Amino acid sequence: MKITKIEAVTIEVPMKKPFRVAYGTTSVARNIIVYAYGENGMTGIGGTAGPVKVTGDTLESIKYVINEVLAPAIVGSDSTDMEKITAVMDSVIVKNTAAKAAVDMALYDLTAKSAGIPLYKLLGGYKKTLETDYTLGIDEPEIMAYEAMELKDKGFKTLKVKVGENTVKDIERIKNIRKAVGYNIKIRIDANQGWKTKEAIRTIKALEEYDIELVEQPVPFWDIDGLAKVTRSVDVPIMADEACHTPQDALMLIKREAVDLINIKLPKCGGIFRALQIAHIAASAGMECMIGCMVETRASILPAVHLACGVKNITRADLDSAMYLKEDPVIGGATVENAMFTLGDEPGTGVKTVSI
């Protein structure tokens, strides 16, 4: 569909409680919403957080790059030509993956809406349901254990636990949570680059008795040798997050046997087009992926749900951030019931509007 206008606006949504990870605390979700208008009167919707600590993109830079750099280069194109549009976006500005992702998902939504089909069908149509975990931010071990029990009661079968601040306390956190929820719940861990190589190996080995599904990004993003050493040294599967942004990163990590799994996030890689490339590279190596998120609204969570449903080897999802928000500004599209997104037949992502 011919694109007549692309526009990025800012939105702020208060969170139910502040969310703490190894590199900071968030209490308000500041997001960008992107509208891509088609000649047929339809509107594609996308969005992103400003993941400044992961990609360097701030909300202000994202809005500027979309409205002043990407939009002028793309308006007039056909939204189905994503190979060409991705090349144009990369030719007018390097990096800025969160801005590119927000535009990319709005264009995929516009294309699917114009075709009258759900987006996941356009992306491969592999499955209609996707189970998400729920993430526990860093807190005192007893508080995290209590929250874990509440989440188990709400129907979550997988908990993602943020650690990486202090290894002694990290072990205490997992021990308390496992004791509280029993062994029928999966626990995955995210250290957000918080450990050094040997510290990571020692800590993960100590955690093995608590039955850990996987550990995300144990060491700093740049330390690929360290990441590979951790992966070789422990039995628990290791997942790249901050170390894997682009398809080239995915290929390099696979060649160096640095990880067992990859966490794809649309703002990190630049959108659905690049995410498909990463998923296909991983699939070719027999590797599974997870789809993750920043602190985002459903305007950008749902494109990720559709992507994961389109593709076979995106087998895990960490798409819980819309549930941290006090209000849901997004009208239309799937919501989570008992930890599960179930996609319907609505065209595109199903998102109709966002109330700002």
Give the number of other Cβ atoms within 10 Å of residue 14's Cβ: 11
Amino acid code (one letter) for 189:
I
Stretch that binds Mg ion, among 80-88, 150-158, 241-249, 347-355 (CB under 5 A): 241-249
- Smallest CA-to-CA distance from 6 within 89, 84, 83 is with 89
Least Å distance between CB 188 and Mg ion? Answer: 10
Cα distances from 316 to residues 157, 239, 289, 340, in angstroms, run: 12, 12, 7, 12
Pairing of strands 314-317, 289-291: parallel
Stretch that binds Mg ion, among 103-111, 188-196, 205-213, 338-346 (CB under 5 A): 188-196
CA distance 36 to 177: 44
- 213 touching Mg ion, by CB under 5 A: no
What is the rounded end-to-end Cα distance, in angstroms, of the chain?
Answer: 26
237 touches 214 (CB < 8 A): yes
- Smallest CA-to-CA distance from 22 within 232, 231, 228, 241 is with 241
| Total number of residues that touch Mg ion (CB under 5 A) | 3
Least Å distance between CB 327 and Mg ion? Answer: 25
Out of 113, 121, 152, 265, pick the active-site residue: 265
Stretch that binds Mg ion, among 35-43, 179-187, 209-217, 254-262 (CB under 5 A): 209-217
- 241 touching Mg ion, by CB under 5 A: yes
Can 16 be counted among the known catalytic residues?
Answer: no
Token output for 311? 């593709």
Least Å distance between CB 272 and Mg ion? Answer: 19
**Is the Cβ of residue 216 or residue 249 nearer to Mg ion in the bound state?**
216
Out of 162, 205, 229, 312, pick the active-site residue: 162
**Is the Cβ of residue 276 or residue 291 nearer to Mg ion in the bound state?**
291
**Is the Cβ of residue 152 or residue 188 nearer to Mg ion in the bound state?**
188
Cα–chain-centroid distance for residue 225? 25
Stretch that binds Mg ion, among 53-61, 140-148, 215-223, 320-328 (CB under 5 A): 215-223
CA distance 160 to 132: 10
Stretch that binds Mg ion, among 23-31, 172-180, 225-233, 240-248 (CB under 5 A): 240-248
Q: By CB under 5 A, what part of segment 18-77 binds Mg ion?
A: none
Least Å distance between CB 317 and Mg ion? Answer: 13
Cα distances from 44 to residues 58, 103, 285, 316, 337, in angstroms, run: 23, 9, 33, 26, 25
Least Å distance between CB 319 and Mg ion? Answer: 12
Least Å distance between CB 68 and Mg ion? Answer: 31
Can 179 be counted among the known catalytic residues?
Answer: no
**Is the Cβ of residue 102 or residue 161 nearer to Mg ion in the bound state?**
161
- 190 touching Mg ion, by CB under 5 A: yes
CA distance 70 to 92: 7
10 touches 59 (CB < 8 A): yes
**Is the Cβ of residue 293 or residue 336 nearer to Mg ion in the bound state?**
293
Cα distances from 37 to residues 62, 71, 116, 209, 315, in angstroms, run: 19, 11, 16, 53, 32
Provide the mask over 144-183, with x wherever binding to Mg ion is found by CB under 5 A and - wherever it is not: ----------------------------------------
**Is the Cβ of residue 44 or residue 270 nearer to Mg ion in the bound state?**
270
Residues facing residue 34 across a β-bridge: 8, 46
Least Å distance between CB 252 and Mg ion? Answer: 19
CA distance 310 to 326: 30
Residue nearest to Mg ion (CB): 241
**Is the Cβ of residue 42 or residue 212 nearer to Mg ion in the bound state?**
212
Sign of CA dihedral 26, 319, 300, 263: positive
Cα distances from 237 to residues 82, 125, 207, 214, in angstroms, run: 34, 28, 12, 5
Instruction: Give me the active site residues, please.
Output: 162, 265
Binding positions for Mg ion, rule: CB under 5 A? 190, 216, 241
